[in-house]
Amino acid sequence: MGALIDWLTPAERMPWPVSAPFRMRPNLEKLDPLSPALLLQDELAPAYARARERVLREAAERAIVGVAHSDALEAICSLVPSPALRERVRVRAATHAITDEKHIKFLRESSNQDKGVKNPALTPTLSRAAGEGVNVALSLQEDFVILKNENDALRTEYLSVCFPSRWDPREKLGLDFAQIHAPVADNQMLLAAGSSIMTMAFIKQPMLRHVWLIVPSSSLDQHPEQNDYSWAQTLADPSPLLPRLFFRVERQTTWPLPQFARAVFFIRVMMSPMVGVLHAAPERARELADALRSMTPAVVAYRGMTAAMPRLLDELDALHAQR
């Protein structure tokens, strides 16, 4: 089992963005625009790389969407913290180091500009751009989305998302902020702040936010087509629920690239067993229970937790009582 979940973050290092009352709101923090690295690497990076390689080997067509802008990819390379890793990214991109036949077939067929072309050598510019995007993806611990500024609106141009949280990257290509967040429950605050969020976080300066979830699967890749994510199956087991759940946090970072009329949205997914995170600091069971109780039914349903909520709250209350 341990080999299957070697990407788990130690509980004491997990962010704890839980607060009550819970609201769907931006919660953005400013980052230093002169910071030498917005992309944090840790000892789990090799495990993330193996998980990402598996997704790209088995389902590249749903993880890599659109055509990447080469200058934006080069800018992303410049953010990689380690000089050695940064050079490895550049070399990998420059040599177009993709040899897997399924990847090559997908890259050749994924663009309308390349439909029907049997020989990838006939379209070296397109296949090279696509290859660079995949190679950069394999060298980062983060997923990333490149947005393009068109007619004063930032729209998704390229998505490299191997570890989505129950959403399909293919459905987000070409969308703006309001369209992306339209399915989110209780999204009024987000949509009302949409214009200011995009201006501040994607045009003016880098910003950071954390989004947390309670999930019944340890997989980094929680695409809707995955078969190992089931609240119904988890609840069918009458044994204690908390020891079988995971705390999932998305560290979301924005990075403006106005010189290219673009911006980048990075997503670092962090996972840890729920019980360990709750024990990492006093009062967390109470804080989480308070946050869950303050969620509207729409938010609970959106997160797929309606049936789980009674048992989850009972166990959190019991855990708090023991502290």
146-185 pLDDT, tens digit per residue, is 999 988 788 999 999 999 999 999 999 999 888 887 888 7
What integer pLDDT is reported at residue 276 of this predicted model? 97
* Number of structural domains the chain divides into: 1
Domain presence at residue 279: no
- Mean pLDDT for 99-116 is 44
Domain presence at residue 133: yes
Q: For residue range 35-87, what is the model confidence (pLDDT) as tens digits?
A: 655 787 889 999 999 999 999 989 999 999 999 998 999 888 888 766 655 66
What integer pLDDT is reported at residue 203 of this predicted model? 83
Reply yes or no on whether the pLDDT at 104 is more than 80.
no
pTM score of the predicted model: 0.86
Which residues make beta-bridge pairs with 145? 159, 265
Domain presence at residue 182: yes
Reply yes or no on whether the pLDDT at 26 is more than 80.
no
Reply yes or no on whether the pLDDT at 110 is more than 70.
no
Instruction: Name the most confidently modeled range: 24-33, 92-101, 244-253.
Output: 244-253
Domain presence at residue 122: yes
HEC readout, the chain:
CHHHHCCCCCHHHCCCCCCCCCCCCCCCEECCCCCCCCCCCCCCHHHHHHHHHHHHHHHHHHHEEECCCHHHHHHHHHHCCCHHHHHHHHHHHHCCCCCCHHHHHHHHHCCHHHCCCCCHHHCHHHHHHHHHHHHHHHHCCCEEEEEEEECCEEEEEEEECCCCECCCHHHCCCCCHHHHHCCCCCCHHHHHCHHHHHHHHHHHCCEEEEEEEEECCCCCCECCCCCCCCHHHHHHCCCCCHHHCEEEEEEEEEEEEHHHCEEEEEEEEEEEEHHHHHHCCCCHHHHHHHHHHCCCHHHHHHCCCCCCHHHHHHHHHHHHHHC
- Please tell me the least confidently modeled range out of 189-193, 217-221, 232-236, 282-286: 189-193
Residue partners of 131: CB distance under 8 A and separation at least 6: 93, 96, 97, 98, 107
Domain presence at residue 60: yes
Reply yes or no on whether the pLDDT at 90 is more than 80.
no
Q: For residue range 231-245, what is the model confidence (pLDDT) as tens digits?
A: 999 999 999 999 999
Reply yes or no on whether the pLDDT at 205 is more than 60.
yes
- Mean pLDDT for 213-220 is 96
What integer pLDDT is reported at residue 88 of this predicted model? 59
Domain presence at residue 321: no
Residue 127 lies in domain? 33-212+253-271
What integer pLDDT is reported at residue 97 of this predicted model? 44
Domain presence at residue 135: yes
Domain presence at residue 206: yes
Q: For residue range 267-323, what is the model confidence (pLDDT) as tens digits?
A: 999 999 999 999 999 999 999 999 999 999 999 999 999 999 999 999 999 999 997
What integer pLDDT is reported at residue 82 of this predicted model? 61
Reply yes or no on whether the pLDDT at 93 is more than 80.
no
